[in-house]
Amino acid sequence: MTMEIRGPLELPARREDIELHTADGLTLVGELAMPEAAAPVATLVTLHPLPTAGGFMDSHIIRKASARLPALADLAVLRFNTRGTTSPRGTSEGTFDGGAAEQFDVAAAMGFVRDRALPRPWLVGWSFGTELALKYGADHDIEGIILLSPPLHRTTAEEVAAWGKTGHRVVILVPEFDDYLRPAEARERFATIPQAQLIAVEGGKHLWVGETQTRRVLTEIVAAVNPSALPLPTHWSTED
């Protein structure tokens, strides 16, 4: 049987409920999804949108990356709830700290990646998650960052410019109709990162709603991390 890959469809993977432990004593809940048979070629460490506005580890782009990319692109996908955030997986300890103490959450995720020897980690932030990636990502052993709908509300110009000196890859997806930062302004504010690849997504919106936008985002993530897996299939065959 052949199924179209869309919506909540979850493709085969090895999925494991995990816990992350922060330096300030909190336990965070999450999930690691790995390719079903092969070793992963790279790792996505995902950082979800603003929890006070409904963001969590099941925010749809992050959930669909976990549901599809282990099978379609041989990627490991780590997703977790930052402090004080609840999802069906559970509630992470602590309380939301506006992006400050969340630096320990990012560090805990990267410590998990290191302990499991997961390959070629990338930070993938969406909205609030991009602020965490920009503020704290350079402190860790990563290959690059992928920013989805960056609002640049909490990240200073100095923190942005510092990425120009790291040598890390920086991929930025900016929706044409974003609620907070649109392509023209984004080009100005990220101009201090010479190696940044800014992709203006025609017709895109901050929440990337709809299968067309979902596929575009996942395609750009894979183009950065494992381009040999492109084009991503739109259908999946199973045994009858």
pLDDT tens across 189-239, in order?
999 999 999 999 999 999 999 999 999 999 999 999 999 999 999 999 987
Domain-embedded: residue 238 = no
Closest CA to 197 of 231, 162, 229, 163: 163
CATH number of the domain within which 127 lies: 3.40.50.1820
pLDDT score for 56: 98
Question: What is the Cα–Cα distance from 90 to 80, expressed in whole angstroms?
Answer: 10
Confidence class of residue 101 from pLDDT cuts 50, 70 and 90? Answer: very high
Domain-embedded: residue 233 = no
pLDDT score for 240: 53
Tell me what the pLDDT averaged over the chain comes to. Answer: 97
**Residue 123, pLDDT above cutoff 60:** yes
Mean pLDDT of 79-90: 98
- Using a pLDDT cut of 90, give the percent of the chain over it: 99
Domain-embedded: residue 232 = no
Confidence class of residue 10 from pLDDT cuts 50, 70 and 90? Answer: very high
Confidence class of residue 136 from pLDDT cuts 50, 70 and 90? Answer: very high
Domain-embedded: residue 89 = yes
pLDDT score for 238: 85
pLDDT score for 95: 98
- Count how many Cα atoms sit within 13 Å of the Cα of residue 215 in the half-sphere of its side chain: 13
Domain-embedded: residue 234 = no
Domain-embedded: residue 113 = yes
Hey, what long-range contacts does 218-222 have (CB within 8 A, 24 or more apart)? 218/61, 218/64, 218/65, 218/68, 218/69, 220/146, 220/171, 220/173, 221/44, 221/65, 221/69, 221/124, 221/146, 222/69, 222/72, 222/73, 222/75
Beta strand 2-4 with 235-237 is: antiparallel
Q: Print the domain residue range for 181.
A: 2-227
Domain count, the chain: 1
